[in-house]
Amino acid sequence: MSLKKIIDVGSVNSLLKKGIINKEGVRLIDCSFAVAPRPDWKEFEQEGYGEFKTLMAAPSPSRRLYQAGHIPEAVHVDLDIATYPSRYQRFQQYRADLFEKYAQMVGLNSKEHFIFYGKGAFGGMLFASKVAWIFKSYGHENISLIDGGFDSWKRNGLEVSTEDVKLPTGNWKAEDEFKKYVITFQELEAKKDGEENQFIEKTSEVNFLDSRIRGQFEGTQETGLDPHLVNGSRIKGFKNLPSAELLTKEGTLKSDDDIRSWMNKNGYVDDQPVITSCNAGIQAALLAYVIDAVKPSPVPPRVYNGSLKEMELRSPKKISEGPQHLPH
């Protein structure tokens, strides 16, 4: 089935009424996520890494959020199970062969079309776009994101379910497409033979897009960085395209034309590679997903799953330019 990358709630409701969801190659995936403190990465490495059966059986505030009400037939994917905490990243991605096991346990199959949505921030698209981008990085291209998420669904008076949907074990297979959709710290730091500049310094050749709110980018709001280690709030040459500005007051995406105009106004250069970043690769995934939808390119955006905090720990001199941080 061919569906757009961004899909409205009316189209999803039509699929439900026709009995297509979970029966004719379309899966509806709820990405409700309850933000919680970062787990201890060393402890998780010893006790939780890749233990999907145990993790799925454990009490989960995100699952409770899903069970409180969701679109009928939607199965839940928990970002805290789909990823793991590492030393530097809050949502580190698993190896493809491990993530594949989790997707199969959820009940997903390779040839299906996945429709993602969520609740809360950024029209319910914040964590949904992150999970969608994760699946893209494992080679799954048949993906849609519900514009406005669960709030838009409820606002339109559509049916809500509290059923904990369980699907039979799926046959989904992962491919390693990380280099196509994700960029690592090592790649940002790398230099090509004979070149003086690291990749991260090629800001005139690459759209390096910081998707954080303007206050954090400009240093007028707290970023969580240590002012004794770094002397600013952003990386020199990066452009600020806040993901929050993609949305209307109603929590749905602005028109494609408005988004393209906004991108160009904020320094986006057509036909240049795109790297998006933020505090944990979440807002960056939303920006990347929308750019991929409204300005499709043979070379898609790549998301940096780390943060300025990782830069601070690994290479503090990279973070400069901009006002000093607010005092702690």
The full 3-state SS of the chain, as one line of letters, equals CCCCCEECHHHHHHHHHCCCECCCCEEEEECCCCCCCCCCHHHHHHHCCCCHHHHHHCCCHHHHHHHCCECCCCEECCHHHHEECCCCCCCEECCHHHHHHHHHHHCCCCCCEEEEECCCCHHHCHHHHHHHHHHHHCCCCCEEEECCHHHHHHHCCCCCECCCCCCCCCCCCCCCCHHHHEECHHHHHCCCCCCCCCHHHCCCCCEEEECCCHHHHHCCCCCCCCCCCCCCCEECCCEECCHHHHECCCCCECCHHHHHHHHHHCCCCCCCCEEEECCCCCHHHHHHHHHHHHCCCCCCCEEECCCHHHHHHHCHHHEECCCCCCCC
Which one from 65, 143, 146, 278 is the annotated catalytic residue?
A: 278
The reply to whether 31 belongs to the active site is no
As annotated, the active-site residues are: 278
